[in-house]
Amino acid sequence: MRIIFILTVVFVIGITATIFAELDHVLTVNLDKMGPQISPTLFGIFIEDINHGVTGGLYSDLVKNSAFEYSNPIDGWSLSTYGSNVSVQVASKTSISINKINPNYLSIEISQNGEWVEISNSGYNGIPLEIGESYILSLYARTQKSTSAIYVGLGTLNGKIGAENKIKNIGPVWKKYQITLTSSITSDNGQLILKFGSVGSIYLNMISLFPSKNFHDMRLDLVNMVKALNPGFVRFPGGCFVNGNTLDNAFNWKDSIGPHIDRPTTMDFWGYDQSYGIGLYEYLLLCEHLNAQPVFVINPGMSWQGSKDVQIVPLQDMRKWVQSALDLIEFADAPATSTWGSVRASLGHPKPFNLKYIEVGNENVGQDYYERFEMFQKAINAKYPKVKLIFSAGANYTGHDFDEAWKWAKNHGVDIVDEHIYASPDWFLSNTERYNSYDTNGPKVMVGEYAAQPWNSQNTLEAALAEAAFMTGLEKNSNKVVMASYAPIFNNVDYSQWVPDLIWFNNAQVYGTPSYYVQLLFSNYRGNFILQSSISNNDYTSDDNNYKRLYYVTSYDSKNKDIIVKIVNPWPSNETCQINLNGNASLTGNGQIITLTSDEPVTSNIPFRGRMNSINTFENPTHVSPTYESITNVSTSINCTLKAYSLTILEIETNGL
C-alpha cells in the first residue's frame, strides 16, 4: 500500500520536493526514545598478512628479501659478475654471519682490479619512484681485506638512472650504513642497483629501501586510507596467519619486536615468505595513530584446525604459551618499570598503549581449544582483570561447532565471542535481524570477519550494499554486538589470493572498494545512541528469502548533536520515503545528505541484475564513492528519494536532544 501525504515542507538539494506525492515508505523516528547505546568500538578493521597485504604491502620496505632469508635465498635479487675471478653468492658461514636469526648474507669476492659485481632488486613488481621524493637506503656491511666503497643507484629496468650515491669506508666489523637518495625520475617499475669494484671481500645483509615518507616503516598511502576509516579497533595480525600451518610458522610476537636484523623470516600461512617487518610494536603504534583499540589475536597453542595434521601443545606444556600472552600484555600495557614494559620503553614508547582486549585463538573450536582457552582465561583474569578476552566461535556462523562454542562460552564467563561470516549477498540481506534474538546479558559479540561474497568474487556495489544492510542490524544491536570488522583489509592485486577485501593496491597505486566506502560511512556517521524508529511497507519476500525493501538505522550523536539516518536501498528501483522526526526536536535547519551509489544504468528489474557489478578500479578508483551535499531548511518532515542501489545517509543538525 502506498501512502499519500500532503507535504508541508519543501526541501533541499538531493531531496525531492513533492506536493501530494505518493510515497513508498514513511520512516518514523522517535526522538524521545533513545537507546541502546552504540559501542564506540563497533566498527573496526582486521589486518592480516594475506595477499601480500603486509609483506610487499603495508610494510614499506621496497626491497624484496632484504635479509636473503627467503626460502629461495636469492629471491628478488639479480646478481651479475664482470670478470673471471669474481663471485657473488648467498653464504651463511657462522664466523661471518651477523647473528643466528639472520645467518645468511651476500658474499662478494673480487680478486683483480677492473672486475666488478652488480646486484639489483625490483621489489614487489617494480620499485615505485617519484620525481623529487627521497628514499632511505640502509644496509649492514663488513669487509674482509680492504676498505670498500659501494655504488648505489635507483633506476628503471631499461637503464635510466634516477639517483646515485656512494657508501664509503666499509670496515671489518658489521655496521649499519644509511644514505638518502632523491629520485630525479618517476617510474612504477624501478629498481635498486648496487655495484662493487674494490678488490677484496665484502659481506652484506638487510639491504632495505624505504620511502622517506612513511609511518613507522608503513606505506603512507595505505595508512592514510586506513585512517580515513576511523576504526574503533584493529584486530591483528590474523586470521590463519596466527594459527600457522604448523606451530613453527604460527605468529610469535616476541620474534616481531626490535631491530629488523633481529627478526626472523618465516613462511606465511598464506604461502609466501614474510619477515615480521611490521611487528607487534608497529601495530600498536598504528592503533595509537588511528585512535583505535588494539585487539591482538594470540595463538592458543594449536596450529590451524583445518589441517588433518593439526598440532596441539600438550596441556602440561602450555605454561610457556600462556606466559607469552601475559608478557604481551605487560609489553603493551604495563609501566615502563616492568620487565616487558621496559622493552617497550627502550623502543621509544614509555607510555602504555592501554590494551583492553586480547583474542585467544582464531577460528578454533572443540574441547582441545576450550581447555586451552580456560588456561589463558584464568591467568589473564587473575593478573589483568581489566583485559577482556575474546573467544572464537569457529570458522562457521552456524552448525554444531558454533552452537557448542556458544554453549561453552555462556557457561564459562566468556566476555566476547568472535563470529566469522562469509556468505552470499542474499544471506546478508536476509539476516539483518540475526542479533535481535541474542541475549543482552550473555557474552558480547565480535563479528571479527565478515563479507558478502558475490558470484564473481569481486568487491562489487551489490556486495557492499548487502554488507551495509547487515551493518544496520549490527548498529541496532550494538548493546550485544560490540565489535565488527570486515574481512582482510588489504589486497595487493599483483599477489591476490583472497577476495573480498577493503583496500586494493599495487606497488604504486591504491583505491577503496565499494565495501571500503560502506565501512567508512558507517564508521564516520555513527551516533552513540540508537533512536528508536519504524518504517512502513517494508516486507519483501522473494525466492524464499525474507528481504526488506529498505534497511535502516537511526541514531543520535550527542557530541556533534546530530541525528543520523542511514538507509540502504539494495534494489533496482528508486524508493521514496518520508522521514518524520517525532518528539522534542530543536533542529538548526542544516544538515548533509551523503549518497553512495553508481551512475551505471539500471538495466533490469530483477533484483541484483542491474548495476550490481559496479566496482572501482585503478583507472576509475572512485567510480563508486560517496557524494556529499549540504542541505538547508531541514524540518521534522523530510521527503527523499532513495536511489536504486544506494546507501543514503542524512545527517541532521540539532541544538541538542
Would you say 198 or 392 has its CB closer to ligand AHR? 392
Binding characters for ligand AHR, 240-279, by CB under 6 A (x = yes):
x---------------------------------------
First to last CA, the chain: 33
Residue appearing with cell numbers 573496526: 44
Among 155, 238, 279, 500, binds ligand AHR (CB under 6 A): 238
Residue appearing with cell numbers 644514505: 179
For residue 265, the tally of other CB atoms under 10 A from its CB is 23
Would you say 50 or 222 has its CB closer to ligand AHR? 50
Question: 595, 518 in Cβ contact below 8 A?
Answer: no
Set 69, 109, 330, 363: catalytic member: 363
Among 14, 244, 488, 514, binds ligand AHR (CB under 6 A): 488
Phi, psi at 33, each rounded to 5°: -115, 90
Chain centre to alpha carbon of residue 524: 16
Binding characters for ligand AHR, 390-429, by CB under 6 A (x = yes):
-----x------------------------x---------
Would you say 117 or 489 has its CB closer to ligand AHR? 489
Q: Tell me the C-alpha distance between 280 and 278, whole Å.
A: 7
Q: Which residue is nearest to ligand AHR (CB)?
A: 239
Question: Which amino acid, one-letter code, is at 428?
Answer: F
Among 498, 524, 561, 635, binds ligand AHR (CB under 6 A): 498
Q: What is the DSSP string of 292-314?
A: -EEEEEE--SB--TTSTT--B--
The site that binds ligand AHR (CB under 6 A) totals a number of residues, namely 13
Bond into 473 cis (ω within 30): no
CB of 449 to ligand AHR, least distance (A): 6
Q: Determine the interface stretch with ligand AHR among 60-68, 171-179, 236-244, 601-609 (rule: CB under 6 A).
A: 236-244
CB of 451 to ligand AHR, least distance (A): 9
Whats the size of the chain, residue-wise?
A: 657
Q: Which residues partner with 55 through β-bridges?
A: none
Helix (H, G, I), strand (E, B) or coil at 325: helix
Among 590, 529, 584, 583, which Cα is nearest to 559's?
529
Phi, psi at 221, each rounded to 5°: -65, -35
Is position 419 annotated as part of the catalytic site?
Answer: no
Would you say 362 or 519 has its CB closer to ligand AHR? 362
Q: Determine the interface stretch with ligand AHR among 238-246, 281-289, 367-375, 502-510 (rule: CB under 6 A).
A: 238-246
Considering all CA atoms of the chain, what is the largest pairwise distance in Å, rounded to the nearest integer? 95
Bond into 128 cis (ω within 30): no
CB of 240 to ligand AHR, least distance (A): 4
Among 5, 29, 45, 48, binds ligand AHR (CB under 6 A): 48
Q: Tell me the C-alpha distance between 126 and 133, whole Å.
A: 16
435-474: contacts with ligand AHR (CB under 6 A): 449
CB of 304 to ligand AHR, least distance (A): 9
CB of 292 to ligand AHR, least distance (A): 19
Q: Which residues partner with 183 through β-bridges?
A: none
When asked if residue 607 is in the footprint of ligand AHR (CB under 6 A), the reply is: no
Q: Determine the interface stretch with ligand AHR among 191-199, 201-209, 233-241, 583-591 (rule: CB under 6 A).
A: 233-241
Would you say 373 or 551 has its CB closer to ligand AHR? 373
Among 239, 277, 454, 512, binds ligand AHR (CB under 6 A): 239
Q: Tell me the C-alpha distance between 25 and 4, whole Å.
A: 10
Would you say 240 or 581 has its CB closer to ligand AHR? 240
- The x, y and z cell numbers of residue 288, run together, are 595509537
Among 204, 257, 286, 487, binds ligand AHR (CB under 6 A): 487
CB of 162 to ligand AHR, least distance (A): 37
Q: In 443-492, where does DSSP find H-type helix?
A: 461-476
Q: CA 501, 447, 623 angle in degrees (round to 5)?
A: 30
Question: 640, 16 in Cβ contact below 8 A?
Answer: yes
Among 252, 362, 430, 554, binds ligand AHR (CB under 6 A): 362
The footprint of ligand AHR (CB under 6 A) covers: 48, 50, 238-240, 362-363, 395, 420, 449, 487-488, 498
Catalytic residues: 363
